[in-house]
Amino acid sequence: MQKAVKRIYMSIVFLFLYAPIIVLIVFSFNKSKSRGQWGGFTFDWYFDLFKDRQIREALYFTLLIAVISTLVSTIVGTIAALGISNMSKIGRTVVLNINNLPVLNPDIVTGVALMTLFISTRIELGFVTMLIAHIVFSIPYVILAVLPKIRQMNKHTAEAALDLGATPAYAMRKVIIPEIMPGIISGALIAFTLSIDDFVISFFTAGTSVTNLSILVYSMARRGVKPTINALSTLMFTTVLILMLIINKKTDKGEDIII
């Protein structure tokens, strides 16, 4: 009896969670333009999607910004984390508290604050400002992912390497970096997903010359319905799903990284 209640409850919750997604996917193959009517099966919207220059451009910017901001924030964040762990206690507390601001602040405040900075300093909003903004909100997460690994690391290993004649750069490359690699990888993964998924901060810092997929979906959804959005969502969803399944499978043996 209790088991049945649990099953029914979970089924209702899952129905609630999946209904909109399933509807989007089903209607991406719908011939009729209306959202409520089934007009037969078609791939048209997918072809339209690839013909649409706006969507192609948005996809390009989304991926380009995600890749660059992930690379930059992972490298800068790791170096910063290594430095922070060697700072005095007061310095570390101050830096970490400021570092946490973009994590704790609502996205909209981070977005408008950066926009204010760019416009006040007469920097034109566009690709560069959006990229900077993505790096700004990604680095804190990389630092938060890498720092615990540095803390767990045995300090004497690095000292031993130096005593045995390794140069600091060599010790860094051969001893410290491999030791904190899991933290760096999960930091990079978080940075990448955050960048791909971000809407609010991009919306305020992109200006009118560039759009990423999120901004495009927002403006399309406000203007009215276009079945191509359904096709786009289906593609994006399956891509992320496949990526996540691969990541989860790879990390299954070690730690679970669930984002």
User: Which parts of 60-119 interact with other proteins (CB under 8 A)?
Assistant: 76-77, 79-80, 82-84, 86-88, 91, 95, 98-99, 101-102, 104-110, 112-117
Is 160 near other proteins (CB under 8 A)?
no
Is 33 near other proteins (CB under 8 A)?
no
Among 127, 240, 251, 257, binds other proteins (CB under 8 A): 240
Distances (CA, A) of 102 to 21, 95, 98, 118, 248: 30, 13, 8, 17, 27
Q: How far is the CB of 114 from other proteins (least distance, A)?
A: 5
Give the number of other Cβ atoms within 10 Å of residue 108's Cβ: 12
Q: How far is the CB of 29 from other proteins (least distance, A)?
A: 14
Name which of residues 174 to 213 contact other proteins (CB under 8 A).
197, 199-200, 204, 213
Q: How far is the CB of 171 from other proteins (least distance, A)?
A: 11
Name which of residues 138 to 157 contact other proteins (CB under 8 A).
139
Q: Helix, strand, or coil here: 18?
A: helix
Is 14 near other proteins (CB under 8 A)?
yes
Is 225 near other proteins (CB under 8 A)?
yes
Is 161 near other proteins (CB under 8 A)?
no
Is 1 near other proteins (CB under 8 A)?
no
Chain centre to alpha carbon of residue 9:
32
Candidates 217, 252, 210; CA nearest to 236 is 217
Cβ-in-10-Å burial (0-12, 13-18, 19+) of 133 comes to buried
